[in-house]
Structure 1
């Protein structure tokens, strides 16, 4: 996002996800933070997920993925951040826990 240009979207990062991001290697953490800004600039930039994860999007950051949802209230909620190998199963588990 360019300086001086506010996004019309608000980013919501749950404490659990924020804590996970804080504990990631600094190099990858910088990439994740830059990717969060890219998502704020263009919420549809992530890949739309299907089937059980329909309604969510996935944004690639090296071998990690940021899983998020865009609400009609112009809010972007980060659901999970983690390695590609496990993130989709983890997201499915988290969503089933919410229900």
Structure 2
């Protein structure tokens, strides 16, 4: 079952700023998330309901909507700033 991937505006902006070499790896990771969005780590605390997928040195933060079969990518950020609001 394939999910539909939706990049939020913030995530798209962050992806556009990534270097081409790393952007390709991130795009491959996004393809993997469409196939199996549950491969990422569940976050807790203030990030409950959000998952994180690691593409060193970046983190892809996303939310899964199971009923609608959507994956909403919230952020694509360097690991040092990924969890800042």
* TM-score, normalised via structure 1 length: 0.79
* Contact kept? 2:62, 2:71, Cα under 8 Å: yes
**1-side partners of 2:21 and 2:56: how far apart?**
11
* TM-score, normalised via structure 2 length: 0.91
Match among 73, 82, 85 for residue 87 of structure 1: 82
2:26 is aligned with 1:36: no
Give the structure with higher Rg (CA). Answer: 1
Q: Which has the higher strand share?
A: 2
Structure 1, unaligned stretches of length 5 or more?
1-6, 94-99
Q: Which has the higher helix share?
A: 1
Structure 2, unaligned stretches of length 5 or more?
none
**What is the root-mean-square deviation of aligned Cα atoms in Å?**
1.2
Moved over 4 A (4+): none
Q: 1:64 maps to which residue?
A: 58
Instruction: Give the total of aligned pairs.
Output: 84
